[in-house]
Structure 1
Amino acid sequence: MKLKNNALNQAIKFALATTTAGLFISGSAIAADEQSETKVNKNVEKIAVVGTRSAPRSIGDSPVPIDIIGGEELEKSGNTDMLELLKGAVPSFNVHQNPISDAASLVRPANLRGLPSDSTLILLNGKRRHRASVIAFLGGGINDGAQGADISVIPSIALKQVEVLRDGAAAQYGSDAIAGVMNFQLKDASEGGKFEVRHGQYYEGDGDTTQISGNVGLPFTDNGFANLSFQYKTADATSRSEQRPDAAALSAAGVPEVSSLAQVWGAPEVDDDISIFGNFGLELTNDSEFYMFGNYSERDVRGGFYYRNPHTRPGVYSNDGGETLLVADLTEDMSGNCPTIAIDDNVLDNPDYISGVANNPDCFAFNETIPGGFTPNFGGNITDTSLTIGTKGMFTGGFFKGAFYDLSGTVGLNESRYFIYDTVNASLGADSPRDFSPGKYEQLEKNFNFDLSKGFDFDLAYDVNIAGGLEWHEETFTVISGDEASFTAGPLTEQGFGIGSNGFPGFKPSDAGEYTRRNYAAYVDIEAPFTEDFLMGLAVRFEDYDSFGTTTNYKVMAQYHVTEDLNVRGSVSTGFRAPTVGQANVSNVQTNLSDGVLQDSALLPPTNPIAVQLGGTELEPEESQSYTLGAVYTIGDLFLTLDYYNIEVDDRISQSEKIVLSQDDKDTLEAAGVPNAQSYAQVSFFTNDFDTTTQGIDLVANYTADMLGGSSTFSLAYNWNETEVTKFSDITGEFKVKRLEEDLPNHRATLTWAQQWESISLFTRANYYGEYQGVHVDYDATAKTADAAVTIDAEITYFLNESVSFSVGAQNLFDQDAEKLDFEDRTGIPNNNWGGQYYETSPYGINGGFYYAKATYTF
């Protein structure tokens, strides 16, 4: 929609004129636009909304570093996941594929500047985005317990641009903005559109992915727009696995029904992944407008778990490490006289088993019904909805005459219904179902904002912009119990058989509940141009939570033009991240590997008596102090920026190390009414246990030129990032500290070449990943330093005419393998003990090369 409001247009022009810095465009920002756009202007100035409370400004005039990634660049990639698209565009942004990692495989957590996913604030059209209901209980060390927003639901075709503020901004936006802010700007055209069909698969021949997406702009009366987008996607699972040695040995011994691939490491299957986004705007008067935007998204995800060996799995097949078989006496008076069965290569061949169990109706072992063991499949249905309604404009009379206002309300809901397949509730014996619904999490957030902004003449170079506002926020986390079979303690409980759906026991009615927290904030933001070359900004925010109390944070930023071509910038700020309501209240039972052995671990609220006994306390907010210092240099068609950052975070919130329970601990749990407490080997809880210092450098260089008979754009983006854990206790543990410090590569870089000819465009990107810590099955004995690597992405597009284009491309064009497992010589553990081939911490994934083709119709 083109605004008729001359005052608003003048305000935007005013903001662009307040400083005279040279243009700064990130390495991602100036990638090739569409053919038609390239012909018009290949150096379009980038305008950002994030990072300021004044009118939108050129990012070259920002005293803090901002990347702008155009929607067209996001679409020039074979990947259909927004997380992977951003990873290729922002070097300090990392995300893992998280195979076999519980709920983290449903909503993958990401890292900006080496901090967890919930340390980056996510905005949609400048408004706070709600969190996902999924808590990453197995988050690969860095994201253990993280609960961030699910940005994978946002389709690239819906986006006008993504703004990445690489600076702490809690004083401006509130909790979570310790690492930075990502603002997803939806398209707002009132005409035209695009439809796209894309299909691809991995070089290995699996992971077939099909995506159909579209965007259309429509008039909303004569003075508005309705911009609608959709995306539908399916993706097959992948496998980069080998047969486990124990499963192969069972098959060789004649044990029937052992899967030929007992455990799968790879990407999960995604079915019926649909997202619908709408963005609406309407001019009410010459000085005001109405806006509304929102989404509905839903997907089904299913992936593998760890293999349950039919000779050793505790609570199902054996409770003494595979020495003897776990046999149930089915008689009411325990008179079955069930034998003790020693386990050898194939317990099914044991005469005592044949006579005393298989042919004895009074005795039962799961080897009778599931002789080859089983591998649970974990899945979920993720539903995400949101709606924002607001009005903005300028007061034309009264005390606030000339001031701009923005009043809005937002509601967001994320629901995750969990499923687990091909498993058992062992305590139910032969009557156990094989598929369960363990329960559901819901995250509901409501947000109301009122912002004011006005320029005042204080006889400085330009008007001083003073902004302020109020915010009210409510967050509700709900736990809904699962089906009864998923949590019930069956008749075999007292004989040592495990309770609940094995691998993910259901939420009991006693676990269910609704937990709510409210907070409000008041903030002020001042930007003062003392001279034409010197701009300073100050932001202060007061926040009051009904749980832990109040917090006040500030930010001071400045920019100085040394010459016409060189300016320096910097900021100093404090910040905070409030513990989520889910982190403070959730309880769960996980099956995880500990020292290479599957064990059940109970996650308890930090105020649970057992957690308190082990060092747990009520959660407090994280606190941060950060500063940045950088420079912007422009000369001709060369744009260069260099920024240093330092972020200290105290009392970081994370899931504790899995703490081994003593017998006294188990007895206390049992006395507190926790069923099957004696089977829990470990306990964890959320805690404020450690401090970190993260520092790094972002270097961005861009160059545009006419060459090779067309238009060329070259972009280099480099990030050095280092995290040091400066304080911790045994609650965190040394191995987790090592993961926090070493799992992510310290060095990341991308080099992009975008070339446009009359009817052909080429997009190529080289991705450099420095050394990182390879870890397998979250086990310290498997860790090693993995080598640096380079991957290449490429896409070529042929424009048949102004409306139709065809593209082919590849991610990881030369099929760079992830680091191979090699810890046998160091630990005596076979490399494929759990069926894997690669360290799953690979920053570029374990699936290898992916090729694709797409057809686009633009109108």
Structure 2
Amino acid sequence: MKNHNNYHPLSRAIKYALAASLTLGVTATATAQEAAPDTAKKEQAVEKIAVVGTRSAPRSIGDSPVPVDIIGGEELNKNGNSDMLNLISTTVPSLNVHAQPISDAATLIRPINLRGLSSDSTLVLLNGKRRHRASVISFLGGGINDGAQGPDLSVIPGIAMKQVEILRDGAAAQYGSDAIAGVVNFVLKDASDGGTIEIKHGEYYAGDGTSTEIAANVGMPLTKDGFVNLSMQYKNVDATSRSVQRDDAQGLIDAGNTSVLTPAQVWGAPEIKDDITIFANAGLDLDNGGQAYMFGNYSERDVRGGFYFRNPHNRGGVFSNDGGETLEVVDTTGAGGCANVPISGLDHQQITSAVNALPTNCFTFFQMFPGGFTPNFGGNITDTSLAIGTKGEFKGGYFDGVLYDFSGVVGRSESMFQLFNSVNASLGPDTPTDFDAGKYIQLEKTFTADFVKYVPAGLYEDLTVAFGAQWTEETFEIVAGEQASWEVGPYVDQLSNGSNGFPGFQPQTAGTSSRRNYAAYVDIEAEFTEDLLGALAVRFEDYDSFGTTTNYKLTGQYRINDDWALRASTSTGFRAPTVGQANVSNVRTELNQGVLVDVGVLPPTNPVAILKGATELTPEESTSYALGLVYTGYDFFVTADYYRIDVDDRISQSAAFEITPEEIAALKAAGVRGIDSLTSITYLTNDFDTRTQGIDIVANYAMDAFNGRSSFALAYNWNDTEVTRFSDITGEFRVSRLEDDLPKHRATFTWTQTWDDLTAFVRTNYYGTYQGVHADDPGFAVKATWEVTLDAEVSYYINDSFIVSVGAQNLLDNDPAELPAEWQGILGGKYFETSPMGINGGYYYLKGTYKF
């Protein structure tokens, strides 16, 4: 009898033991890269086994009825970046990673996008347990992530990973909310001995962005029946700048102003200081044949990035209220004689002389900042989690033979926002220049009970019946900033209040909002014959905010022969609006046609937002279809999958709506405070539907060549998103961002070569044409050209313990699409920030590894 399913030779006992990791917490697989150095030099193809996407026994990714990618732990470390997200994006064809310069809180995290959907449409698991969301909500999220609140994956270090599993298929019926696009499961190392120490140092070709990272992993026994595996990472990363001097700043310099910085405004990656992460994973075999487990993390970092330049002649609400005709002057004592200073047509020395001639009781911010100022936005990000559980098999009684997994998970993300080199103009000369603007805190608690029973049903294999329940509580808290960050000062009739650029959260907006939900599911998987596999999952959820939802998923695979197989799936799904999305509030500064404006982001239940058409948020609802082909003959592994995802009532940020003085006055009379400086507002809304379709192709081949072992990997994705329904609340510009910001075509090709003491790889990355947008401004959006980069790394095995690696990302230092020359001087930037290859250019690194 042919062995069409590679896990069939496993004994029934091993099958039960593996399936006991019901929520994907344990895998017993290795990839070629996870072998010891001497073994890795000689290895042939090693099968990759997936547990994500099924609650039955783990199966090879070729036998999975849904597309799954697996990246081994050693493979994750073959990457120069200080986190592993870039490597995942080059391995998984439809996954994109973006960094956001000058994007308020979005600068502090790195979201991922799977199959063209927002970052919070991909469910993230750690050891099979739901990972909590970041407290940051991306208001300047590069179009596709506007208003998204996904997990912060930058806190997860590659050295802690045994493997990463990416399910590219809708799975809300299996795992609940957020799995519309798919699931990413990070599996922690579980070795009970040995370890690794790594030291990595790198820098961009431009001479900035210098990074130093120290990472370590160690496995230890926990008595003779368990393990403790610890991982640590500490790094510092300098900021980068891909800026040009702004025209207005250069004009000030040409007029004799020596106080203007060069460049006045920085576009680039933020500075990251004292980024420390600790992960722990532990397990202990129990006397009853079960296992207790515990894992969690503590992570903290300080981030500081750039902001927009405040021109000392015309920045509204600070220097001038008439577009630069005069400098706004306030009377600090009431003695009088404080007329505004005319400056139109004057050079710097003439303006300085006129300001110096003011009476001592008269103040203008030109005295404090003659060269203008550029705030720095930053914060302290703290992320913690703890999961505790036990799993095993019931012995005897009604539940005899039922596998169980009981667990509880608590996750917390805190973002403390800070603003440096700014002012609360309404406080006049008494303003501080550094502000603590407040905090967002996301807290999630999840308790689950999962069960699996193998039921004889006269089929090729026993019927797998999985069922369980889950209870979740999600809390989002806004903590008010220090008083100076939001205070309405004595000069508010003339100057704006709140820390300029990011006003602190006011006490009346502070508070805690919570939501609870419970879920129940059943998941049945059947191998009807040796060649036909089918599965059905149904999940019911009840939220105390919006009510109930029920979703299903139907999957199947038919093996045509030893080499070919067909697979297909159809499912419904949902994404519940987060508590943060329903209650978040802040004010940001952004560009509109090259002019800085203050925009308020308000909860959809706020009276100001309701005035502009907002309604309470409801869940997104999706329907997915997929059809794939798998080939596994002659040392080739090839998969091709077509997918279509229809999402109704998607949640995103609305267009900006102007606030008139009459509306502000009416709202203030109704008791709404803190809106004096607003020019417009946005809110989160369910306003549009999308249809996303695409094709993923993954191909791998290995052969003996060049006196060693050669491996080739190709990953290609075509992805197209169409907004099928929207209104003026969303607007044409946001529609274009959703449809065109990501490249429709993307591909990587990797050649890995292994010899006795040397390994090397070369990877080509291709990004198709996309919409180039800068500063989230509709006035600066055009079609950008395709881009190609080359990555390479060489590793030398000094002995079984020491490895030295040198490599580069964007080896040839190819530049991304440049802004038109006439835009560069207006924006102070050189490249479109939506570039899929990033804006920082080539990066080289040196890494030393010690294994014990």
- TM (norm. structure 1) is 0.95
Structure 1 residue 15: deviation in Å?
Answer: 11
Structure 1 residue 44: deviation in Å?
Answer: 1.8
In 1, the alpha carbon distance for the partners of 2:698 and 2:17 equals 26
In 2, the alpha carbon distance for the partners of 1:356 and 1:308 equals 18
Q: Which moved more, 1:337-346 or 1:455-464?
A: 337-346
Letter in 2 for 1:760: L
Matched, 1:44 2:46: yes
Distance 1:37 1:517, change over 3 A: farther
Structure 1 residue 8: deviation in Å?
Answer: 4.6
Contact 1:485 1:500 in 2 (8 A): yes
Q: 2:115 aligns with which of 94, 104, 113?
A: 113
Distance 1:858 1:844, change over 3 A: same
Contact 2:41 2:755 in 1 (8 A): no
Alignment of 1:329-408 (within 5 A): 329-332=331-334, 335-346=335-346, 349-350=349-350, 354=353, 358-408=357-407
Alignment of 1:22-171 (within 5 A): 35-39=37-41, 41-171=43-173
Alignment of 1:556-595 (within 5 A): 556-595=554-593
Corresponding residue of 1:609: 607
SS in 1 for 2:772: strand
Q: Could you list the per-position Cα deviations for residues 713-739 of structure 1 after superposition, in whole angstroms to 9, with x for gaps in the alignment? A: 111110111100000111111011001
Alignment of 1:264-343 (within 5 A): 264-285=266-287, 287-332=289-334, 335-343=335-343
SS in 1 for 2:326: coil
Contact 2:658 2:681 in 1 (8 A): yes
Structure 1 residue 35: deviation in Å?
Answer: 2.7
Matched, 1:696 2:694: yes
Contact 1:250 1:345 in 2 (8 A): no
Distance 1:775 1:29, change over 3 A: farther
Q: Which moved more, 1:607-616 or 1:464-473?
A: 607-616
Structure 1 residue 45: deviation in Å?
Answer: 1.6
Contact 1:489 1:500 in 2 (8 A): yes
Q: Could you list the per-position Cα deviations for residues 266-294 of structure 1 after superposition, in whole angstroms to 9, with x for gaps in the alignment? A: 10000000100000010002620000000
Corresponding residue of 1:217: 219
Corresponding residue of 1:840: 833
SS in 1 for 2:292: strand
Corresponding residue of 1:193: 195
Structure 1 residue 89: deviation in Å?
Answer: 1.9
Matched, 1:849 2:842: yes
Corresponding residue of 1:258: 260
In 2, the alpha carbon distance for the partners of 1:505 and 1:8 equals 61
Corresponding residue of 1:176: 178
SS in 2 for 1:261: coil
Contact 1:648 1:692 in 2 (8 A): yes
Contact 2:338 2:358 in 1 (8 A): no
Alignment of 1:645-664 (within 5 A): 645-664=643-662
Corresponding residue of 1:205: 207
SS in 1 for 2:508: coil
Structure 1 residue 665: deviation in Å?
Answer: 2.2
Q: Could you list the per-position Cα deviations for residues 175-231 of structure 1 after superposition, in whole angstroms to 9, with x for gaps in the alignment? A: 000010000000000111100000010001111000100101100100111000000
SS in 2 for 1:206: coil
Distance 1:15 1:435, change over 3 A: closer
Q: 1:756 aligns with which of 744, 749, 754?
A: 754
SS in 2 for 1:632: strand
Structure 1 residue 358: deviation in Å?
Answer: 4.5
Distance 1:673 1:256, change over 3 A: farther
**Gapped runs of 5+ residues in structure 2?**
1-9, 22-28
Corresponding residue of 1:21: none
Corresponding residue of 1:22: none
Distance 1:657 1:801, change over 3 A: same
Structure 1 residue 458: deviation in Å?
Answer: 0.9
Letter in 2 for 1:305: F
Contact 2:244 2:824 in 1 (8 A): no
Q: 2:803 aligns with which of 802, 805, 816?
A: 805
Contact 2:195 2:217 in 1 (8 A): yes
Letter in 1 for 2:610: V
Contact 1:243 1:262 in 2 (8 A): yes
Distance 1:674 1:374, change over 3 A: farther
Corresponding residue of 1:491: 490
SS in 2 for 1:833: helix
Contact 2:275 2:299 in 1 (8 A): yes
Corresponding residue of 1:9: 14
Corresponding residue of 1:478: 477
Contact 1:416 1:442 in 2 (8 A): yes
Q: Could you list the per-position Cα deviations for residues 569-610 of structure 1 after superposition, in whole angstroms to 9, with x for gaps in the alignment? A: 000000000001011011111111112110111111101112
In 1, the alpha carbon distance for the partners of 2:667 and 2:410 equals 39
Structure 1 residue 13: deviation in Å?
Answer: 7.9
Distance 1:39 1:330, change over 3 A: closer
Letter in 2 for 1:569: R
SS in 2 for 1:60: coil
Letter in 1 for 2:688: F
Q: Which moved more, 1:506-515 or 1:654-663?
A: 654-663
Distance 1:293 1:13, change over 3 A: closer
Distance 1:10 1:286, change over 3 A: farther
In 1, the alpha carbon distance for the partners of 2:113 and 2:515 equals 26
Distance 1:356 1:61, change over 3 A: closer
Corresponding residue of 2:25: none
Alignment of 1:764-783 (within 5 A): 764-783=762-781
Structure 1 residue 673: deviation in Å?
Answer: 3.5
In 2, the alpha carbon distance for the partners of 1:55 and 1:551 equals 28
Give the count of matched residue pairs: 836
Q: Could you list the per-position Cα deviations for residues 147-172 of structure 1 after superposition, in whole angstroms to 9, with x for gaps in the alignment? A: 00011101000000000000000000
**Gapped runs of 5+ residues in structure 1?**
17-24, 825-829
In 1, the alpha carbon distance for the partners of 2:625 and 2:51 equals 21
SS in 1 for 2:383: strand
Distance 1:693 1:834, change over 3 A: same
Letter in 1 for 2:833: E
In 2, the alpha carbon distance for the partners of 1:623 and 1:243 equals 46
Matched, 1:439 2:438: yes
- TM (norm. structure 2) is 0.96
Contact 2:576 2:619 in 1 (8 A): yes
